[in-house]
Amino acid sequence: MNRNPEPLERCGQCQALIEEGEALGTHVPDSSYLHPHDPTRDGDRPLIACSPEHLAELMKAAGARPYLDVELWAGKIDRALATCPQGLSLYALAVKTGLTQDQIEQAALWSGRSVHSLGNPP
């Protein structure tokens, strides 16, 4: 007997609880999405729905949003800096995020920050 059943999924469109085994799902490219546990899945947003119609609506909404590599890079930088309140050198930031110095510079420019401020705590 399983005393801790898996939590039920919620439809991303209507928030209805979905019975076990009934959820429909897919993944869509989304540069604003950072996976909570697996950085290799950043930018690959899961969609869960209770019906084909709701899944289609979620996919339509996701498809209307442009995918920007620089937005994904900025998110990776923010996540890395959030785990290091003392700040990181640019080299350490590159190692922690897997980004090149050029990608870090582009992300800083895109987010309106100085490259040198990225490695320092606020």
Is the residue at 4 inside a domain? no
Is 2 within a domain? no
Choose among 67, 77, 121: nearest CA to 99: 77
What 8-state DSSP symbol labels residue 65?
A: S
Beta bridge partners of residue 76, listed in sequence order: none
Does the residue 95 lie in any domain?
Answer: yes
In a domain, 19, yes or no: yes
Residue 102 forms part of a structural domain: yes
Q: Identify whether residues 57 and 20 lie together within a single domain.
A: yes
Can you give the pLDDT at residue 105?
93
pLDDT the model gives residue 119: 60
pLDDT of residue 114: 76
pLDDT in tens, the chain (122 residues): 344 455 679 999 999 999 988 999 999 999 999 999 999 999 999 999 999 999 999 999 998 999 999 999 999 999 999 998 888 889 999 999 999 999 999 999 999 887 766 665 54
54 in any annotated domain: yes
Q: At what angle do helices 90-97 and 69-82 cross, to 10 degrees?
A: 110
Instruction: Let me know whether 15 and 35 are in one domain.
Output: yes
CB contact at 8 A, 76 and 42: yes
Range of the domain at 58: 9-63
Structurally, how many domains does the chain consist of?
2
Distance of CA 79 to the CA centre of its chain: 10
- Residue 43 within any structural domain of the chain: yes
Residue 1 counted as domain residue:
no
